[in-house]
Chains A and B, each alone.
Chain A
Amino acid sequence: MANVQLVGIKKHFEGVKAVDGIDLEIADGEFLVLLGPSGSGKTTLMRLVAGLEKPTGGRIIIDGQPVNDLPPRERGIAMVFQSYALYPHKTVFGNISFPLSVEGMPREDIRKKVDWAAGLLGIGHLLDRMPSQISGGERQRVAIARALVRRPKVLLMDEPLSNLDAKVRHTAREELKLFQREINVTTIYVTHDQAEAMGLGDRIAVMHEGTVRQIGSPESIYHDPANTFVAGFVGIPPMNFIEQGGLIVGFRPESLLPEEVGPEVECMRFRLRVERVEDLGSHRLVYGTIGKDKIIASLTISIRLSEGDEHVFAVCDREIRRFDPKTGVRVRQ
């Protein structure tokens, strides 16, 4: 296995700075998630690591070896595409074995390795089928098996779960994490889905406009956002922001509680005007305004709130994050 180092990586497409100077180090066996909205450059960054794009500047080092000038096949990487990109004219076996037969591996060894990969993903019974004859979830497993069969140094995954329906996606996520641990391959995973990012990543790099805005564990990204972009992008619903005393004050929807159930001390109190209440079963979302800022509170307790009410809410001081209104950067006291 291997670590990956990116030094000052840039990729400009005819004046558009898709990736604009990124430094990143991914440890051996680490699961790194690139999280960002579409157009943030996360897929481009992955394609640069894969060698499918040439960087405008900077260096890519895999396992201590600079790979800038190497074609994809000499980088020891494997990739799972969003569309799975299976070879439609080859059987499942033909798909999974392709990377091995390219290497000129003997037939029996290929058989063994394909059986190993197919067994790992539970698709041993599908080997004779064509891609068009299996379900979306099965195709995704075939794509992963094809990527893993060579035991790559680095596994790249570009939104591999986004084409699955919501039900399968949960189990697929779980399994993905399990076998990544099992074979302990360095993984870079691109997604715009923060639930996936939080659930899968050892670390998350939040990207925006071609740069990494914050990198850290899922907890630190969520609880310790470095700037308003990360705070506003991560979390469903996102962090609330209100202007107060020349700073932006931010707090999570679940930290905003009605005064009567909130803690007594060290709290900021707000008069919140309730505009709409959404009951989602496990919790309720309260849409409202504080002054003229729009706010969402997420409540798990049952308390009577109806539209049009004014109610005092409170946020514990330690739940509050402050940001510079000009730069959006976190201000720490």
Chain B
Amino acid sequence: MSGRNPFERESVLAPLMLAPIALYMVLLVGFPFLMAFVYSFSNVTVGNPEFHMVGFRNFAAVLRDPAFRHSLMNTCIFTFSSIGLVLVLSNMLTELLMREFRFKWLVRFLIMLPWTAPIALGTIGYLWFLDSVFSPLDWLLRRWGLLGTPQALLGPASNMYWLGRPGLAMASVILVHVWRLLPLATMIRIAGMNSIPRDVIEAAQVDGAGYYRRLFHIVLPLLLPVISVTVLFSTLFTFTDMTVVWVLTKGGPPDNNTQVLASLAFLKGIQGGDLAEGAAVALFFFPVLAGVAMVVLRIAKKAVVT
């Protein structure tokens, strides 16, 4: 009976159901990765049909390039500052949202909002917010007397130029990225908190532990699997992200002050047409991401066991 209908045979059904993901992996992940790998050892460019293998020349060129070193540094600063901030802020938000108060639904809605908006759209909003001339933040600062007069705390200039000054531009990019990562991190954090029995927290309270001792001795150790997964995923998202940087600063102000690896690869490979060098930059992600992925998988496995 069961042999009649091919859809009821596991040997037919299983490959059929797996085919879409396999196809996706091969065509959209495997193939481009392979191409990037091959390109990085070649002299291929967008305009020139010539194709020679050139060995490690691209990598050598990239490593000599100060823009690359600058971008690598920026990527690390961008990633670690964002994640550090997200960890602290998501803890605060979790504390807030675990409590009962009036209009909690509204606060929760507003906090979750960044996650539901398309990243590029949200970031464009910030682009206006941080505009060099029309920024409403600057307007507020001027109104409060913090900006634009000779004695003002933030200087006599009429604007902050949020995206135009090296340190400030990086800080702005980081803050916008944090704004974007925070909802997901908070959601995961709250889910993790709800999995800790309330008794255990109360036992610690009765045992004499104050807030910080409870946080560091009880809550965080119990949340460790959840938090490490959050951190590792955020690392992946942040390390490879270029949306925020590209929309806000395009890597500027001049001299690659906010350039990150992803935007540099895009700049060189797609906008500059030097596919080979772009691919070489992008390949620097590979060891980092492979390492992170391994850690994630190990933690996931451990979490299943316990």
Contact = CB atoms under 8 A, between A and B. Distances in A.
Contacts, number: 59
B175 interface: no
A98 B199 contact: no
A98 B218 CA distance: 10
A98 B209 contact: yes
Contacts of A72: 202, 205-206, 208
A150 B204 CA distance: 13
Q: Which residue of B200, B206, B221 has the most chain A CB atoms within 10 A of its CB atom?
A: B206
B209 to A, nearest CB: 5
B133 interface: no
Given A85-B197, A88-B222, A98 B204 contact: yes
A86 B204 CA distance: 9
Interface residues of B, number: 18
Contacts of B203: 79, 81, 85-87, 146
Given A73-B208, A102-B207, A83 B202 contact: no
Interface in B57-111: none
A9 interface: no
Interface in A41-63: 50-52
Interface in B172-214: 197, 199-200, 202-210, 213
A92 B137 CA distance: 55
B206 A102 contact: no
A72 B207 CA distance: 8
Nearest to A76: B208
B195 to A, nearest CB: 11
A189 to B, nearest CB: 16
A50 B213 contact: no
A73 B197 contact: no
Nearest to B200: A85
B101 to A, nearest CB: 14
A255 to B, nearest CB: 42
A85 B203 CA distance: 6
A89 interface: yes
Interface string A72-109: 11000111011101111100000000110011000000
A71 B205 contact: yes
Given A52-B205, A83-B197, A73 B218 contact: no
Contact of A78 (B206, B210, B222, B306): B206
B219 to A, nearest CB: 11
Contact of B199 (A71, A85, A103, A132): A85
Nearest to A71: B205
A102 B209 contact: yes
A72 B201 CA distance: 12
A73 B199 contact: no
Contact of A102 (B197, B200, B213, B221): B213
Nearest to A99: B207
Contacts of A77: 206
Contacts of B206: 50-52, 72-73, 77-79
Interface in A208-232: none
Contacts of A81: 199, 202-203
Nearest to B214: A102
Q: Which residue of B200, B205, B208 has the most chain A CB atoms within 10 A of its CB atom?
A: B208
Nearest to B209: A102
A71 B217 CA distance: 19
23 contacts: A50-B206, A72-B202, A72-B206, A73-B207, A73-B210, A77-B206, A78-B206, A81-B203, A83-B199, A85-B197, A85-B199, A85-B202, A85-B203, A86-B200, A86-B203, A87-B200, A87-B218, A88-B200, A88-B222, A98-B217, A102-B209, A102-B213, A146-B203
| Shortest 6 CB-CB contacts between residues of A and residues of B | A85-B199, A85-B203, A73-B208, A99-B207, A102-B208, A89-B221
